[in-house]
Amino acid sequence: YSHVAHDCIVGDSLVMSSHSALGGHVRVGDCVNVGWGAGVHQFCRLGRHSMVSACSKLVQDVPPFMLADGSPAEVRSINKVGMERSGFSNDEIEVARGVFKKLFKGDMNRSQAIEYLEKEFSWKENEITKEIIAFAQSSERGLA
Protein backbone atom coordinates (compact mmCIF):
# COMPACT_ATOMS: atom_id res chain seq x y z
CA TYR A 1 0.00 0.00 0.00
CA SER A 2 0.90 3.68 -0.22
CA HIS A 3 -0.13 6.49 2.08
CA VAL A 4 -1.38 9.99 1.26
CA ALA A 5 -1.82 12.00 4.46
CA HIS A 6 -4.27 14.77 5.24
CA ASP A 7 -4.61 17.94 3.16
CA CYS A 8 -2.38 16.78 0.29
CA ILE A 9 -2.98 18.23 -3.16
CA VAL A 10 -2.22 15.64 -5.82
CA GLY A 11 -2.02 16.31 -9.56
CA ASP A 12 -3.01 14.00 -12.39
CA SER A 13 -1.11 10.83 -13.32
CA LEU A 14 0.74 10.38 -10.03
CA VAL A 15 2.55 7.04 -9.75
CA MET A 16 3.22 5.95 -6.16
CA SER A 17 4.97 2.64 -5.66
CA SER A 18 4.35 0.34 -2.71
CA HIS A 19 5.28 1.51 0.78
CA SER A 20 5.71 5.13 -0.27
CA ALA A 21 4.16 7.91 1.77
CA LEU A 22 3.26 11.58 1.48
CA GLY A 23 3.15 13.57 4.71
CA GLY A 24 0.43 16.11 5.40
CA HIS A 25 -0.01 19.16 3.18
CA VAL A 26 2.32 17.83 0.45
CA ARG A 27 1.63 19.31 -3.00
CA VAL A 28 2.28 17.04 -5.98
CA GLY A 29 2.30 18.22 -9.60
CA ASP A 30 1.11 16.27 -12.62
CA CYS A 31 2.98 13.18 -13.87
CA VAL A 32 5.10 12.69 -10.74
CA ASN A 33 6.67 9.34 -9.81
CA VAL A 34 7.34 8.41 -6.16
CA GLY A 35 9.48 5.28 -5.89
CA TRP A 36 9.16 2.26 -3.60
CA GLY A 37 9.51 3.07 0.08
CA ALA A 38 10.08 6.79 -0.44
CA GLY A 39 8.92 9.16 2.28
CA VAL A 40 7.98 12.76 1.56
CA HIS A 41 8.01 15.10 4.58
CA GLN A 42 5.00 17.28 5.32
CA PHE A 43 4.67 20.57 3.42
CA CYS A 44 7.09 19.51 0.65
CA ARG A 45 6.28 20.14 -3.00
CA LEU A 46 6.98 17.90 -5.98
CA GLY A 47 7.02 19.78 -9.29
CA ARG A 48 5.39 18.28 -12.34
CA HIS A 49 7.27 15.49 -14.12
CA SER A 50 9.59 15.07 -11.13
CA MET A 51 10.63 11.79 -9.54
CA VAL A 52 11.63 10.70 -6.05
CA SER A 53 13.73 7.52 -6.17
CA ALA A 54 13.07 4.39 -4.14
CA CYS A 55 13.87 4.48 -0.41
CA SER A 56 14.50 8.24 -0.46
CA LYS A 57 13.75 10.53 2.47
CA LEU A 58 12.61 13.84 1.00
CA VAL A 59 12.58 16.87 3.31
CA GLN A 60 12.76 19.69 0.72
CA ASP A 61 11.05 20.58 -2.55
CA VAL A 62 11.83 18.89 -5.87
CA PRO A 63 11.56 21.27 -8.85
CA PRO A 64 9.71 20.28 -12.02
CA PHE A 65 11.50 17.81 -14.32
CA MET A 66 14.08 16.85 -11.65
CA LEU A 67 14.96 13.52 -10.04
CA ALA A 68 15.75 13.39 -6.31
CA ASP A 69 17.49 10.48 -4.61
CA GLY A 70 19.01 9.67 -1.23
CA SER A 71 18.48 10.06 2.48
CA PRO A 72 18.11 12.94 2.77
CA ALA A 73 17.20 13.23 -0.90
CA GLU A 74 19.04 15.63 -3.19
CA VAL A 75 18.34 16.52 -6.80
CA ARG A 76 20.74 14.29 -8.74
CA SER A 77 19.67 14.78 -12.36
CA ILE A 78 16.73 15.53 -14.60
CA ASN A 79 13.90 13.02 -14.92
CA LYS A 80 14.91 12.23 -18.50
CA VAL A 81 12.97 8.97 -18.83
CA GLY A 82 9.82 10.58 -17.44
CA MET A 83 10.15 13.50 -19.84
CA GLU A 84 10.70 11.17 -22.80
CA ARG A 85 7.67 9.07 -21.86
CA SER A 86 5.58 12.23 -21.62
CA GLY A 87 6.53 13.31 -25.14
CA PHE A 88 8.98 16.12 -24.46
CA SER A 89 11.31 16.87 -27.36
CA ASN A 90 15.07 16.39 -27.17
CA ASP A 91 15.43 20.19 -27.20
CA GLU A 92 13.12 20.54 -24.18
CA ILE A 93 15.01 17.81 -22.35
CA GLU A 94 18.29 19.59 -23.05
CA VAL A 95 16.86 22.86 -21.69
CA ALA A 96 15.88 21.06 -18.46
CA ARG A 97 19.39 19.56 -18.30
CA GLY A 98 20.97 23.00 -18.77
CA VAL A 99 18.84 24.52 -16.01
CA PHE A 100 19.71 21.57 -13.74
CA LYS A 101 23.43 22.12 -14.35
CA LYS A 102 23.16 25.84 -13.52
CA LEU A 103 21.05 25.33 -10.38
CA PHE A 104 22.60 22.20 -8.92
CA LYS A 105 26.05 21.62 -10.43
CA GLY A 106 27.41 25.06 -11.31
CA ASP A 107 29.78 27.29 -9.40
CA MET A 108 27.03 29.78 -8.44
CA ASN A 109 24.81 29.54 -5.40
CA ARG A 110 21.10 29.00 -6.11
CA SER A 111 20.18 32.70 -5.89
CA GLN A 112 22.93 33.64 -8.32
CA ALA A 113 21.96 30.80 -10.67
CA ILE A 114 18.31 31.89 -10.68
CA GLU A 115 19.33 35.49 -11.36
CA TYR A 116 21.56 34.33 -14.22
CA LEU A 117 18.77 32.22 -15.74
CA GLU A 118 16.31 35.12 -15.50
CA LYS A 119 18.64 37.53 -17.29
CA GLU A 120 20.37 35.31 -19.84
CA PHE A 121 18.42 35.73 -23.10
CA SER A 122 18.87 32.16 -24.30
CA TRP A 123 17.18 30.83 -21.13
CA LYS A 124 14.65 33.38 -19.97
CA GLU A 125 12.14 32.96 -22.80
CA ASN A 126 11.84 29.20 -22.42
CA GLU A 127 8.71 27.84 -20.68
CA ILE A 128 10.60 25.04 -18.92
CA THR A 129 13.10 27.54 -17.53
CA LYS A 130 10.30 29.86 -16.40
CA GLU A 131 8.49 27.02 -14.64
CA ILE A 132 11.58 25.83 -12.77
CA ILE A 133 12.57 29.39 -11.77
CA ALA A 134 9.05 30.20 -10.51
CA PHE A 135 9.00 26.96 -8.51
CA ALA A 136 12.43 27.64 -6.99
CA GLN A 137 11.54 31.21 -6.06
CA SER A 138 8.33 30.14 -4.33
CA SER A 139 9.95 27.35 -2.30
CA GLU A 140 9.49 27.70 1.45
CA ARG A 141 11.41 24.55 2.44
CA GLY A 142 14.32 25.01 0.04
CA LEU A 143 15.28 22.78 -2.86
CA ALA A 144 16.46 19.21 -2.36
Q: Are 60 and 42 in contact (CB under 8 A)?
A: no
Q: What is the CATH number of the domain that holds 128?
A: 1.20.1180.10
Q: Rounded distance, CA 14 to CA 103, Å?
A: 25
pLDDT the model gives residue 124: 63
Other beta carbons within 10 Å of 55:
16
Q: Rounded distance, CA 130 to CA 128, Å?
A: 5
Domain count, the chain: 1
pLDDT the model gives residue 44: 99
pLDDT the model gives residue 121: 58
Spatial CA neighbour of 63 closest among 139, 140, 12? 139
pLDDT the model gives residue 134: 93
Burial of residue 111 (CB within 10 Å: 0-12, 13-18, 19+) is exposed
Residue span of the structural domain in which 67 resides: 1-144
Which regions of the chain are under pLDDT 70? 121-124
E strand or H helix at 89: none
Question: CA–CA distance from 81 to each of 52, 60, 113 (Å)?
Answer: 13, 22, 25
pLDDT the model gives residue 140: 94
pLDDT the model gives residue 126: 84
Q: What are the residue numbers of the active site? A: 6-7, 24
pTM exceeds 0.85: yes
